[in-house]
Each structure stands twice: as structure tokens, then as C-alpha cells.
A and B are shown apart, each in its own frame.
Chain A
Amino acid sequence: MVGETLRNLLMIAWLLPLCGFAIEIFGGFWGSRKSRLAAWIAVGCIATGFVCSASALLIWGRQNEWVVLDKAGHGHDEAGHSEGENHAAPGHEGTAPHAEEHKEEPAKAQEEKHGSVAGSGSYLLTSMEEAKADQTAKQTVFSGTIYRLATFGGLELSLDYYIDSLTLVMFTMVTFIATCIHLFAMGYMSEELTEEYVDHHAHLRNGHHLHRPGRFYRFFAFLSLFCFSMLGLVIAGNIFQVFVFWELVGICSFLLIGFYTERKSASNAANKAFIMNRVGDFGFLIGLMVIWTYFGTFRFGESHNAEGQVTQAGLFQMLARDEAGNVTKSAENGEVVIGAAEASLNPVNSRKTIPYFLLVVAGLGVFAGCIGKSAQFPLQTWLPDAMEGPTPVSALVHSATMVAAGVYLVGRFYPMFVQEVLLTIAYVGCITLFVAATIAVVATDIKKVLAYSTISQLGYMMLGLGVFGWGAGLFHLVTHAFFKSLMFLCSGSVIYGCHHEQEMPKMGGLWKKMPITAFTMLIGVIAISGLAIPGLINLSTVFAFSGFFSKDAVVATALAFVKANPAHFLLFIVPLITAGITAFYMFRLWFYTFAGKPRDMHVYDHCHEAPLIMTAPLMVLSVLAAFCAVGGEKGPLFLLITGDQPGHVAHGISATNGLTLPGHDAIHSVHGQAGLLALIAAVSGTAIAWLLYGTEKVNVAEIKRQLSGVHSFLANKWHFDDLYDAIFMRPMHIAGKFCAWFDRTVFDGILHSAAKITVFVSQWDRKFDETVVDGLVNLVGNSTWSVGNSLRTVQTGRLRQYVMFIVVGVVALFAILITSFAG
């Protein structure tokens, strides 16, 4: 079974880093501090993972004969399938796997026969036999269960896998970049290979620097743990599992940001990152709760039994959409109808309908998680602080993979998002990309610029997804991963070369000292800025690096969206302007760092190019940053990513709820226009950057002085940190103090006053006891005693007297007897 092979390969890639982590953390702790073994193990694990992922991708492609790439011929519509017919059986219409809403059309019999076909692979077919041959050959989505966590009645929680083209691309991308970064880190972190590392950023109270043993092994152990978590997130076959690994990447990020635990700023940043992510996860949890309560399952795809028959529908099958791509509403109560086409496949506890607003809540909730993870507005402030971590971490975790996980999840969970949610996503992305880009313009720390640029680019991805550019957003994710990790590694190389100097104003002219770094960085900068050389014959044959194609795709989608919904014109204008700003600040960074004259000769003199182990990954990544998107939206990468896109994406959604979402055709028609506008913006941004920082003919300081108000507003990051401090952190602490005070004074106060009352009452009780009760008893005793005292005189001890008493007594008795008898 291909599905099992794929699953096994990806699971090896996924679990190897976990084993690596266990070996590295303990082996390293008890091993030599000077050993590079941990790094080699980590590299071995992740490189093996890359090999597994790549071969999984190849196996996947071979078994479906690269059916997704055939779309190259038909462009964006389904009319022209001339090339597709070379491979496919006649009558197969549109190789793009359609979404679940067309599920009704293939008969139930078909599903039973070809039960192994997962979720979204369904086709309009002419005959059953052809269908069988075709489907087994062309199956692109595989889902199933790895491991069962718990079952309660009809509720089942498990670890699942969901493998489609997006999963495979992400796996390959993540493992590849991770391998490069691991190798780079081996050089970058080599200072830690010592028994006594001096941390110049951590100061002791006596003014000395901190000395501590090196922690080389620990860094690689954490990286391995991160790779495991990230790959788990990608392979996840249900939204709960995504949440599990979501948290795990969060904690890995926490550990890596706070790698220099001795630095207060690092541990603060780590806490901030984790807690802000938790704020997002709070929303994520709400989304999970709604889904769990109404759908009764978390799985994306269908579940199968041992024979490969479908036993239960997944989430993606349960939200039916009509021809126009809208969710269907129940005639009875106006709520949204949920459930699989085949009622028997519904999870036991799923409900029949869900209120529309709850569907929105679920979508927004899950998106809230993405906001946190992808550092979107309003939770964007943690990412710049996260630059406290070592630079390879910034490259891997905080630019290429983890922060992109939010975008990935939006893409993965796309079938469950309704229009309102998408619009929110678009606006959040739009605000984020602008805010972050403006801050990047004034940042002077080389890593901070890149961090803000990352936030901004993530905003582009979100925007792309929000305006129904499913492919565009994820396309930008992959290209961005390559060029941004490249740029971060370049900045790492600069920082390494300049002995941990990160301030750009102290650099300048480094081009001569570190040519490889400067050149690869330039490739990255060009890629992210979206510069291109238009083809001489027509616009569709531009020569450009990857960033142009993907950003162009996003901008084009936004333009198509705005054309359909003119009210939301900002969704196009803002990203277009920001494209210019992006080019400006990226070139500013490059000119500032590498061009011109050295500004600080001390830094310049001690600066040197990084060793081969660090520059080699740069070169490899620069090639990919430049050419991974070759062909643009007809190129293999885009087609691979969109191979299993949600079915309703291709056609768009016609106006309902006042919103029209563009389909492929609509986007395609404005592509040239958008590309041109984006290019103009990028070129002007580049030109301004060159004027200001490249030529050194304009006095930048004077401009800064003129606009000092704006500058300080931007340099203070729009005052978000201050705002959050005032409206969240302080009230939190006050509430905490209040609760503690309440506990001590009110609850304990009540208790103590109860105790005091008890003591008071018992004091009275004691008095009563002592006077009245004891008095009575003493009275009896005293009187007895006094009687006895008076009688004691009789006890003379004289025998004869006693005898006399007896005699007298006897006589007296007789006398009484006699008198009484006589009487």
C-alpha cells in the first residue's frame, strides 16, 4: 500500500529527531562538553528525515503519475485538459481533486468499492471500471490513524496522519531547511564547545561576566525536539493533534529563545513568546470545543477499518457546500447543515446542524491560535523579542517553520472557514503586514529588521489565504521559508563574523570582508523584495526570484478580491504599498550592512567571513531562494502545493453574505496587472533605499530629525508593548494580588473571626464552669468535709469508749423496740 509506505516514511522522518533528542540531551549531559557528537546525531536524524520525506514525495508522485503537475497545461480552469489526457484515462475530468461537497455525485457503491480513497479524492466518472483503475492510480490524499489516545462512548481521540501534497511539500521543505540550519548552527554554536564559556551579555552583581560550561549539546537537542514537534504538526491528521504539537513547538520555541537562560532579556522574551502564544491557544481551545461538541470528531479525513473501508467521515466531509461553494443551511431552523453525505458515516455524537455564528466562532478560534503562532496583529509583539535566541533558531523556528505553522494551519483547515472568518483573516494579515513593515523601516538591529519583515511576510500569507488565494498564501509560505531562512543565516554569519555585534549602524562595507555572505544575502533581499526582469515578449515570461512569483500571486488574488468587493479596497492598496516598503527596508538593511564605508572600524577590522560549514548552507539555500518558484504559478512548486487544494477554492464563491470570493479565473485575469503594479512598487522602494543608503548623497539623519515624531512612534513599535503592559499585564498582576489579598484577609479573616468568637464563647463557658458548675460540686464536697470534720472527734480510738457506745446503742435500740411494740 502506497499510503502505508508514505506513512511509514514520514513517521520515520518525524520520530527520528525525537530519538535524537533523547540521546543528545542525556548523552550530552554526561558526555564531554567539547564533543560535536550531539550535532552530528541531530544532523543525521534530520538529514535522514529529509531523505525519507523526499522519497515519500517521489513515491507519492510516481504512484499518481504526478497527476497534479499535469494541470500546468490547463492553467486555472478545467476546460483545457489536453495535456492531462496523455496520462489520464479518458473521461476523467479535471484532475484537481475535488472537495468533499461533490461527494454526493459518486454513488455510494463507489465509495464502498474504493474505500481506500481518502477524503477529497473524488471524481466525476463515466464508468465504474475506469473509476477503479483511475482512482487507485491517482489517489493523492491518504489519511488514517496512527495511535488511539482514548475512547469515550462514541468519542474518540487519536493521533492520525493526513498526507496530501501540501503535507509532503511541507515535510520536504522543513526537513531540508532544518538540515541546512543544523549544519550552519554547528559552526555558529562552536563557541559553546568549551568547558568555560564567557557570556558577555550576562552580568553578575560584582560586574564580571558570567562563566559557565558550554551547552552545545543542549542546543542541538532542543533543535531536534523542535523538528519532531514541527513535523508532528505537519503530519497531524486531526485538529486536536495539531493543537498538541502546536503547544510542543511553542515550548521548543520557549526553550530555544531562552537558550541563554542567564540573560534576563532572553528569559523574558521566552516567557513572552509562550504566554502570548497561549493567548492564541485559548482561542484555539474554544474552536476545538465548538468542533468537538458539534461535529463529534477532530479528524480531517475519513477513518478506515482494517479492510480499508470508510467507517467514519472526517471534518472536511461533514461541512457540505452547495454548487456555489456556500455552506448549506437547514430549512427548519436556518442553521448550517453538517454531516456526511452518508448518514451512517457520521460520528456518533455529531449533531445535525450548527448555528452559523458558532461556525464563525470555531473558525475564528482556530485562527486565533494561528494569530498567536504566526505573530499576527494583535499578538505580533513576541516575535521581535524572540530574536534573543541564537540566530539559527531565528532562522529555523522564527522565520521558516514554526511561525509559518499558523499559515499552514489556516491552509489545512480551510474547508472549515466561512466567509466572515476569511475576511477577518484577510484584514488581520493586512494590518499586520503594514504595521510590521513600518517598524522594520526604523529598526537598527539586523535581526529585528528581519523579524519584522517575517511578521510582515506572514501577514502577506494570511492576506493571501483570507482573500481566497489558498495556493498563493501557501506558495508564499514555502518561498518565504527559503529566502527568509537564508537571510537569517546570512545575518547569523554577519553576527558571527562581527563577534556578536547586531547593530547595523556599527557595520557598513562588509561586502569586502564577507563576500559570500553579502552575495547570498543580496539574493535573499532581491527575492523578498520581489524584483523581476519582465520578459521582452510578454509579461508572463518574467525572470525573477521566488519571492516575486509568490508575492505576485498574493497581490493578484487581493486585486481580484477587491475588484469583486470594492468596499474592501484597502486589502489591495495596503499590500501594494507595503511591497514597496518591503523592498525599501530590505535594501536598506543590505546597503547599511554591506555597502558604503565602514562606520565602526573596530568592528570592521575584526570582522571575517564565516567558515565553510556556515557558508555552504547559505549557498545551497540561495540557489533555492532564487529558483524554487521557477515557473511561477505554472511551475512545479505551485502545482504541487495546490495539488490537493480544497475543492471550492478553484471556482470561487459567488456573492453571499455580501462577499464574493474570486476563483482561479478571476485571479488569472488580473494577474498581469497586479504583477506590474507590484513590480513598480518594489522597484520604487528599491530606488529610494538606494538613494538614501546606497549613494550616501542624502542625509538620512536630517530626514530622521524632520520626522522625529513618526520615527519615535515607529521605533517604539507603535507602543504595542506599552499598551499591552497597561491593559493586560498590570491588571493581571493586580487581579493576582487581589486574589491573594482576598484569600488572606477575607477568607482567613472570616475564619479567624470565627475562631475568635469561639474563643470568646469558650471563655464565658469557662467562667460558667468555674463558678456555677464547679461551685455546686465544691459545695457538696465542702459540706461533706465539714460534717466529717465534726464527726471525727467521736473517733477517739479508745476501745472502751466504743464498747460503751455499743452498749448505749443496744440499750437505745431495745428502748425503741420496746416502746414501739408497746405502742
Chain B
Amino acid sequence: MNPFFLLSILIFLPLLGALILLMFDERNAEAMRFWSLAVTLMTFGFSIALYFQYDPAQGMLTAEVKDWIPTWNVYYRLGVDGISLPLVVLTGLVSSLAMVASWSITKHVRGYLILFLMLETGMMGVFLSLDFFLFYVFWEVMLLPMYFLIGVWGGPRKEYAAIKFFLYTLAGSVLMLVAMLMFYFYSGAKPESFNLVALADMASKGGLLSPNMQVTAFALLFIGFAIKLPAFPVHTWLPDAHVEAPTPISMILAGVLLKMGGYGIIRIAFPLCPYGAQYFAYTMVAIGVISIIYGAFAALAQTDFKRLVAYSSVSHMGYVLLGLAIWKINEAGDTINSSYWQMGLNGAMFQMIAHGISSTGMFFMVGVVYDRVHHRDLNKFGGLMGTMPLYSGLAAGLFFAGLGLPGLCGFIGEVFVVISCWSFSPMLAILAASGVILTAGYILWAMQRVYLGAEYKGPHPEALTPSNARENAVGFILLALAIVFGVAPALLFNVMEPSVKAMAQAAEAGYKQSASQLNELQAQR
């Protein structure tokens, strides 16, 4: 298929579907749901087609560039490579599954579905655009439907959560905007450009920003993306947003939106400011480690099931940051242990996908019981293994995936990141590794309180009916994927590895150039 068509349809098919939704009869909710499901499934199908069309050896698969705002050198520029492709497929998948999970939404169904599809457009756009301006636009496009989806269809404190989410993310994107303009006006590029590929190319030759500017730009970008990730000090929007958001939205939030932070770092921050990235490498690893430990401890203390899963996301995304940043150099500015860094990068990418599967599943599983008994208090559960056996089995599988059990996807990401970390900093590696104990602690304890035990201790025991076919299907698909990626991680690594390697090498070269520029400057003084 023509890449331009394929990439564009991925982005705009959901939007088209949302427009067609307007023609449906407001009262016929079922038809609208099926239509939306069909649209998300079609999008997922196209993403699979893209997966098969993409050849890892070729690097970036770019689409034709179209004019958009030529006066300011803004173009409609799309492309996909090994870094974004898995995330695109993940987006298609999680959206479809979340749509299946959306059957439980009964309030203002049409509005919900339209916003949902717009959200998917935004997410696809973020992963597919290669123009910084376009990226920024999609970043904001995705933000607004999310705000409404939490704010209208959420739980009791929905307004608070929605505004918190919105403000945090907006603060991040403002910083990103500043950095974007820095690249536009202060880079040596003539004519000025938002073209991410060209900017990255310049950066790898040391010609984009001066080292000091890179440090500033990277800090701005990093804060923006760290909020989304979310990393330790700026993570508090996540538990609230998750707790208040309806189940399908939690799935998307955990499954896709958090990945945008990691994706932004690896797609924009690293290639465009290699010097800045190296400058902050230790800080980032430290933040990652703190997120792992802090998130795990916080999860240990939760009594709200969904909040616990939300904190587990903080903990798991810490591995992503850790893996991305274990970039070590020697005095001469040459990267040492490059293979270990690449392993960390790949592991971090894998962890994003793995977390996308396991935590989507975990949130879904929480949602299934919430739909039945309408509470999430961990101390008022118990005995679900007896009343909902199949559901409990699937849930246990997905929680084990989150726990990092070998043979399931979570293990590969976590362990690859951790074992490649020693070459960067033994102390941080040991701290990161200690996360495995805490993770086991909070997940097993939560499972014990919810699924095990003699009987259910909370309200509405009569509502605990066995899971239906729709719920089982979602659970099965996610668990099957968790197993597939856990057993055959090469499926993903084969796609990601060449692109990640190219990125790493370009960043290494860029750092070397910038460092030598800095040395010359100092020598002149």
C-alpha cells in the first residue's frame, strides 16, 4: 500500500468514523458502539498491515510530504520506523480492546464514542508525525478528548482529576513548545524547519544547537515528557486520573498515553539534543530508579485497587526511563559499553509495550469487578477465585505479567533494563533490582486480598457473576499477547533493534561533536 495513504488513513480513519457517528440515531446506542468498534478494528487492521509492510532493515518508512503552512515551513510529514511502529500497533490494539470494554458506558454514548475516536486520531498522529509542529498539534488534539472523557464519564471526583490531568499535561506541552521554537529559531537550519529527521541529522553532526542550548532544550523537553511518562516528582496526576477515569479510558491512559512520554524522549529529546541527553543521563537514571522504588512503596500502601495499579504504572515506567538513559561516556567523549546502552534502550522500548499490555489488562480486570460491585476497596474483596474462576485466572495471569514473571512480557523489559544497568552505575542498578521484591510484594498482596480467601467481604455479593464472553475475550487476548511477547521477544526486538541502534549511534556522534565544540570554546578562552 502507498505509505502516504496508509499512514494518513491510520490517523484520520477514526476521525472519519466519528463524523459518520453523527448520522446515527441517538437512541440506537448498540449500533453506534458496533460502528465504533468496527472503526477501531479497521484502524488496528491497517496498523497490522503497516507492520507487515515495514521492513526493519530500511530504517524510516516515510510518506510523501505535503504542504501545510509553507510560510512557516510546516509540512504534513509522516513516517514510521522501528521505534514508533510497535507503539502504533499497540495503539490500534489497545483502542480496539478499550472499545470492547466501552460497552459498560451508558451515559451520552454518542458523545463518548466521538471523543474516543478523536482521541485515537490524536494518539496515532503523535506516533506517526515527523514534523515537530504536527507532533505538537496531535499532542494537543489528544489532550482535549481525554479531558472530557475523564471529566464527563469519570467517577465522583472527576472534575478534580480531569483538571489536574489537563493542567499537568498542558504545563508539559508548554515547555515542549518553548523547546520547539528554540529548535526553529536558534538552530543553524536554513530555512528554519520543524522536520524532525533533518533536525536529528543536523544534531548528529553537531550543527543544531550549541551545547549549552542543548542542555536547556533537553531540560524543557524532558520535563514535558517526564510528566507524561510519569516520572517521580511529577506523577501525582496519574493516580487521580486513573481512579476517576472510566475503565476503558484508564486502559488507554495506561496502555498508550504514558508511552508518549517515553516515545517523545527517544524520538525527539535524545536525537535533537544528544549533548543535553548525556548531560542529564545520570539524573534521568536516578529519577527512573526513584520512580521504581517510590511507586512500588506507594502501591504497597494503597487500599484502592485502581490506585494500586496506577502506582504500579509509575513503578514500571521508571524502568523505561532507566533503560533509556544508561548512556555512559569516557573522558574523551566516546560512548563506552554501547551494546549495553542499546540493550537498555531496547529493553525500555520493550517495557513500554509490555506495560501497555499488562497494565491495560490490569485496569480492565479492576474495571470488571468495579462494574459488578461498584467499589474498589481492597479490604472488602476476597474469594473472587470461587465466584468468578475464569476471570480470576485471567487476572492472575495479567498480574503476574505485571509482576515480571518469566514467560510473560513484563519480565523481559524489566530484566533487560536492569541487567544492562550495572555497566552504567552499580549502585543504581542494585537499587533498581531491589524493585523486584517490592513488586512481588504489592502485587501478590493485592491478589491475595481480592482473589483469594474464603469469601467476598464487601457489598453486593450477589452481583459477582462469572465474567461474560466479552470480558473473557479481552482478557484472553491480552494474556495471549503477554505470553507471546514473553516467550518470543524477538518479534519486537527484530523490528526495534535497527532503528534504536541507528538512533543511539547518531546520538553518540552528536555528543562527540558537541563535546569537542565545547572544548574548543574553552580552549579559546
Q: Find out whether the CB atom of B343 lies under 8 angstroms from the CB atom of A261.
A: no
Output the least CB separation between B469 and chain A (Å). 14
Output the least CB separation between B339 and chain A (Å). 3
Q: Find out whether the CB atom of A292 lies under 8 angstroms from the CB atom of B419.
A: yes
Output the least CB separation between A70 and chain B (Å). 40
A244-B407, A733-B301, A747-B233 are known contacts. Are A267 and B418 too (CB-CB below 8 A)? no
Q: Find out whether the CB atom of A262 lies under 8 angstroms from the CB atom of B452.
A: yes
A281 to B433, CA, bound (A): 9
Per-residue contact bits, chain B 135-170, to A (CB 8 Å; 1 contact, 0 not): 000000000000000000000000000001000000
Q: Find out whether the CB atom of B489 lies under 8 angstroms from the CB atom of A262.
A: no
A282 to B415, CA, bound (A): 11
CB-CB under 8 A from A292, the residues of chain B are: 419-420, 422
B332 within 8 A of A: no
> Which one of A148-156, A305-313, A318-326 is at the interface?
A148-156
A613 within 8 A of B: no
> Which one of B74-82, B101-109, B120-128, B383-391 is at the interface?
B383-391
Output the least CB separation between B172 and chain A (Å). 14
A261 to B382, CA, bound (A): 10
B44 within 8 A of A: no
Q: Find out whether the CB atom of A736 lies under 8 angstroms from the CB atom of B300.
A: yes
A343 within 8 A of B: no
CB-CB under 8 A from A150, the residues of chain B are: 346, 412, 416, 489-490, 493, 497
A747 to B235, CA, bound (A): 9
> Which one of B5-13, B27-35, B247-255, B441-449 is at the interface?
B441-449
Output the least CB separation between A751 and chain B (Å). 7
Count of chain A residues with Cβ under 8 Å from any Cβ of B? 61
A245-B406, A292-B420, A733-B301 are known contacts. Are A153 and B444 too (CB-CB below 8 A)? no
A108 within 8 A of B: no
The contact of A293 among B239, B342, B416, B422, by CB within 8 Å, is B422
B337 within 8 A of A: yes
The contact of A271 among B429, B448, B489, B501, by CB within 8 Å, is B448
Per-residue contact bits, chain A 255-267, to B (CB 8 Å; 1 contact, 0 not): 0001001111001
B455 within 8 A of A: yes
Per-residue contact bits, chain A 536-562, to B (CB 8 Å; 1 contact, 0 not): 000000000000000000000000000
Q: Most chain-A CB neighbours within 10 Å: which of B302, B385, B406, B412?
A: B406
A774 within 8 A of B: no
Q: Most chain-A CB neighbours within 10 Å: which of B236, B297, B343, B412?
A: B297
CB-CB under 8 A from B339, the residues of chain A are: 152-155, 348-349
CB-CB under 8 A from A244, the residues of chain B are: 406-407, 411
A674 to B24, CA, bound (A): 90
What is the interface residue range for chain B against chain A? 35 or more
CB-CB under 8 A from B302, the residues of chain A are: 740
Q: Find out whether the CB atom of A739 lies under 8 angstroms from the CB atom of B441.
A: no
CB-CB under 8 A from A271, the residues of chain B are: 444-445, 448
A202 within 8 A of B: yes
A14 to B444, CA, bound (A): 28
Q: Find out whether the CB atom of B346 lies under 8 angstroms from the CB atom of A152.
A: yes
CB-CB under 8 A from A288, the residues of chain B are: 419
| Residues A117-172 near B (CB distance < 8 A) | 148-155, 157
| Residues A266-305 near B (CB distance < 8 A) | 267-268, 270-271, 274-275, 278-279, 281-282, 285-286, 288-290, 292-293
Q: Quick one: closest A residue to B297, CB to CB? A: A739
Q: Quick one: closest A residue to B237, CB to CB? A: A751
Output the least CB separation between A207 and chain B (Å). 12
B189 within 8 A of A: no
CB-CB under 8 A from B455, the residues of chain A are: 204-205, 210, 262
Output the least CB separation between B276 and chain A (Å). 24
CB-CB under 8 A from A149, the residues of chain B are: 412, 489-490
Output the least CB separation between B499 and chain A (Å). 13
B338 within 8 A of A: yes
A748 to B235, CA, bound (A): 10
A264 to B453, CA, bound (A): 6
A113 within 8 A of B: no
The contact of B453 among A29, A254, A261, by CB within 8 Å, is A261
B430 within 8 A of A: yes
A153 to B508, CA, bound (A): 15
Q: Find out whether the CB atom of B406 lies under 8 angstroms from the CB atom of A248.
A: yes
Q: Quick one: closest B residue to A358, CB to CB? A: B426
Q: Find out whether the CB atom of A282 lies under 8 angstroms from the CB atom of B405.
A: no
A203 within 8 A of B: yes
Q: Find out whether the CB atom of A275 lies under 8 angstroms from the CB atom of B236.
A: no
A251 within 8 A of B: yes
Q: Most chain-A CB neighbours within 10 Å: which of B301, B415, B493?
A: B301
Per-residue contact bits, chain B 322-337, to A (CB 8 Å; 1 contact, 0 not): 0000000000000001
Q: Quick one: closest B residue to A298, CB to CB? A: B419
Q: Find out whether the CB atom of A286 lies under 8 angstroms from the CB atom of B389.
A: no
A247 within 8 A of B: yes
CB-CB under 8 A from A262, the residues of chain B are: 383, 385-386, 452-455
Q: Find out whether the CB atom of B301 lies under 8 angstroms from the CB atom of A737.
A: yes
A244-B406, A244-B407, A293-B422 are known contacts. Are A251 and B301 too (CB-CB below 8 A)? no
A148-B490, A251-B400, A263-B454 are known contacts. Are A153 and B338 too (CB-CB below 8 A)? yes
CB-CB under 8 A from B294, the residues of chain A are: 739
B298 within 8 A of A: yes
A153 to B302, CA, bound (A): 42
| Residues A194-234 near B (CB distance < 8 A) | 202-205, 210, 212
A261 to B501, CA, bound (A): 47
Q: Find out whether the CB atom of A281 lies under 8 angstroms from the CB atom of B493.
A: no
CB-CB under 8 A from A738, the residues of chain B are: 297, 301
Q: Most chain-A CB neighbours within 10 Å: which of B164, B236, B337, B501?
A: B236
Q: Find out whether the CB atom of A293 lies under 8 angstroms from the CB atom of B415.
A: no
A290 to B294, CA, bound (A): 25
Per-residue contact bits, chain B 428-472, to A (CB 8 Å; 1 contact, 0 not): 011001101110111011001001111101000000000000000
A289 to B298, CA, bound (A): 27
Per-residue contact bits, chain B 375-402, to A (CB 8 Å; 1 contact, 0 not): 0000000010110011001000000100
A210 to B386, CA, bound (A): 10
CB-CB under 8 A from B194, the residues of chain A are: none
CB-CB under 8 A from A151, the residues of chain B are: 493, 497
Q: Find out whether the CB atom of A274 lies under 8 angstroms from the CB atom of B343.
A: no
A765 to B389, CA, bound (A): 59
A743 to B383, CA, bound (A): 31
A89 within 8 A of B: no
Q: Find out whether the CB atom of A736 lies under 8 angstroms from the CB atom of B407.
A: no
A279 to B438, CA, bound (A): 9
Output the least CB separation between A159 and chain B (Å). 10
A152-B346, A247-B406, A262-B386 are known contacts. Are A285 and B433 too (CB-CB below 8 A)? yes
Output the least CB separation between A353 and chain B (Å). 15
Per-residue contact bits, chain B 301-315, to A (CB 8 Å; 1 contact, 0 not): 110000000000000
B208 within 8 A of A: no
CB-CB under 8 A from B426, the residues of chain A are: 289
B423 within 8 A of A: yes
CB-CB under 8 A from B301, the residues of chain A are: 733, 736-741
Output the least CB separation between B300 and chain A (Å). 3
CB-CB under 8 A from A25, the residues of chain B are: 393
CB-CB under 8 A from A248, the residues of chain B are: 405-407
A262 to B444, CA, bound (A): 15
| Residues A421-479 near B (CB distance < 8 A) | none
A732 within 8 A of B: yes
The contact of A289 among B342, B418, B493, B497, by CB within 8 Å, is B418
| Residues B271-310 near A (CB distance < 8 A) | 294, 297-302
23 contacts between A and B (CB under 8 A): A150-B493, A152-B497, A153-B343, A157-B416, A205-B457, A248-B405, A248-B407, A262-B383, A262-B385, A275-B441, A278-B436, A282-B433, A282-B436, A288-B419, A289-B419, A289-B421, A733-B300, A736-B442, A737-B301, A739-B294, A740-B297, A747-B235, A747-B236
Assuming A248-B405, A736-B298, A737-B301, what are 7 further A-B pairs, CB within 8 angstroms? Answer: A151-B497, A154-B339, A204-B454, A263-B454, A275-B437, A278-B440, A740-B301
